[in-house]
């Protein structure tokens, strides 16, 4: 079958300006040549430390920020070439859920108004119809009609995220980009929201891109997982392969930090030296070479291609594709 979404060579460079005239003095390559596709009904996890470009990737796909270059095909149309009006229509089909539901819900609006808004924008003019739809959506996410007249501050973090999800579902989207939707929540609440999201996927045949900074969060929910480092995708494969047979040294280090529930399994924690380098001035060659325990001479010079090492398993590392 054909992918719902195809991202090819996506780039988002932010200019760095300085001085009184705001002259451009450099740029941050927040997303630098990222490619992947998402099949209908799939959950693709995207993982990486803060500043790796995962959120920028999500926002660029929806054109909440305009990408610098590349192609984003949704149902075979390159949405980066769509005029604004067409893009607005397409927004029905593509939604985003943010990390901090509180920041994304207008505190002065009732839940009713918050969830009604996208309905109104996309043409549901009848207020009685909207009211009914809001109540239906609240029930779908485990709240009820009684909550409609309340304000965001009257809810817990988990409930607020349910409101955010209800709003995202309002116009029956096909794709939802979930940008760290549980990162701000308590661990017990995280599981409830993840379960809800899985149920909703089944119920409404949704496709998710699930962004997280932690491999343990996406393990449960993803079909495939991509790992990003300093604006690039460094590994992408099925969940099984990624967790059982990771190839990229960065993925291995991230995985070694995931707590192991089985106490009989002893894991050696791989501690990376140094911090993530400044994205304004990324290392040459493989951007991970300054922290990689296995770095070789070539790694400082030549950027490894993101290439398949076996079926459905892409890695950007000279240990695996050093024949370039
Ligand atoms: Fe490490 Fe070199 Fe592979 Fe980069 S290319 S991850 S530095 S071994
Ligand atoms: Mg982010």
- Report the pLDDT value the prediction gives residue 63, as an integer from 0 to 100: 93
Q: If we measure between CA atoms, which residue out of 7, 4, 6, 28 comes closest to residue 17?
A: 28
Nearest CA to ligand 1 atom 5: 317
The response to whether residue 121 sits with its C-beta less than 6 Å from ligand 1 reads no
Ligand 2 centroid, distance to 181 Cα (angstroms): 10
Determine the residue of 48, 251, 289 to mutate for testing ligand 1's pocket, defined as the one with the most ligand atoms within 8 A of the Cβ atom: 289
- Report the pLDDT value the prediction gives residue 75, as an integer from 0 to 100: 94
Give the tokens for residue 316: 């950007």
Determine the residue of 230, 317, 321, 324 to mutate for testing ligand 1's pocket, defined as the one with the most ligand atoms within 8 A of the Cβ atom: 317
- Report the pLDDT value the prediction gives residue 294, as an integer from 0 to 100: 95
Ligand having the closest approach to the CA of 180: 2
The response to whether residue 295 sits with its C-beta less than 6 Å from ligand 1 reads yes
**Dihedral in degrees, nearest 10, Cα atoms 239, 243, 246, 252:** 130
- Report the pLDDT value the prediction gives residue 324, as an integer from 0 to 100: 46
Residue 234 near residue 250, CB atoms below 8 Å: yes
Ligand having the closest approach to the CA of 318: 1
At the topology level, CATH places domain 5-93+173-315 in Rossmann fold (3.40.50)
The complex scores an ipTM of 0.96
CA distance 177 to 33: 19
Give the tokens for residue 257: 């930090």
Atom number in ligand 1 closest to CA 286 = 4
Residue 141 near residue 164, CB atoms below 8 Å: no
Task: Point out the residues of the chain with pLDDT beneath 70.
Answer: 322-324
CB atoms within 10 A of CB 238: 16
CA distance 112 to 27: 42
Domain coordinates in residue numbering, the chain:
5-93+173-315
- Report the pLDDT value the prediction gives residue 259, as an integer from 0 to 100: 79
- Report the pLDDT value the prediction gives residue 115, as an integer from 0 to 100: 96
Ligand 1 centroid, distance to 47 Cα (angstroms): 18
- Report the pLDDT value the prediction gives residue 30, as an integer from 0 to 100: 96
Determine the residue of 251, 277, 304, 309 to mutate for testing ligand 1's pocket, defined as the one with the most ligand atoms within 8 A of the Cβ atom: 304
CA distance 230 to 253: 15
- Report the pLDDT value the prediction gives residue 44, as an integer from 0 to 100: 98
Question: Beta strands of 156-310 (E only): which ranges?
Answer: 175-179, 207-212, 224-229, 232-238, 307-310
């Amino acid at each position: 079958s054909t992918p719902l979404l195809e991202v090819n060579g996506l780039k988002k460079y932010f200019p760095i300006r300085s001085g009184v005239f705001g002259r451009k003095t450099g740029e941050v390559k927040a997303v630098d040549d990222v490619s992947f596709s998402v099949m209908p009904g799939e959950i693709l996890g995207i993982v990486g430390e803060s500043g790796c470009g995962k959120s920028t990737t999500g926002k660029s796909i929806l054109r909440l920020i305009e990408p610098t270059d590349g192609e984003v095909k949704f149902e075979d149309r390159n949405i980066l070439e769509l005029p604004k009006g067409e893009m607005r229509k397409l927004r029905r089909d593509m939604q985003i859920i943010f990390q901090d539901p509180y920041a994304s819900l207008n505190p002065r609006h009732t839940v009713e108004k918050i969830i009604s808004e996208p309905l109104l924008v996309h043409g549901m003019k009848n207020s009685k119809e909207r009211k009914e739809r809001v109540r239906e959506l609240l029930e779908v996410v485990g709240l009820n009609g009684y909550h409609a007249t309340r304000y965001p501050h009257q809810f817990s973090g988990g409930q607020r995220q349910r409101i955010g999800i209800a709003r995202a579902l309002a116009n029956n989207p096909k794709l939802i980009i979930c940008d760290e939707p549980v990162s701000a929540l308590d661990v017990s609440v995280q599981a409830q929201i993840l379960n809800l999201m899985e149920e909703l996927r089944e119920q409404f045949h949704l496709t998710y891109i699930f962004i997280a900074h932690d491999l343990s969060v996406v393990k449960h929910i993803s079909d495939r997982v991509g790992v990003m480092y300093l604006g690039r995708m460094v590994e992408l494969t099925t969940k099984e392969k990624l967790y059982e047979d990771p190839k990229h040294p960065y993925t291995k280090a991230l995985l070694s930090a995931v707590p192991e529930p089985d106490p009989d399994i002893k894991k050696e924690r791989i501690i990376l030296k140094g911090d993530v380098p400044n994205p304004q001035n990324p290392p040459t060659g493989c951007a991970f070479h300054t922290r990689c325990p296995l770095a070789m001479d070539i790694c400082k010079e030549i950027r490894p291609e993101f290439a398949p090492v076996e079926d459905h398993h892409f890695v950007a590392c000279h240990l695996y594709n050093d024949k370039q």
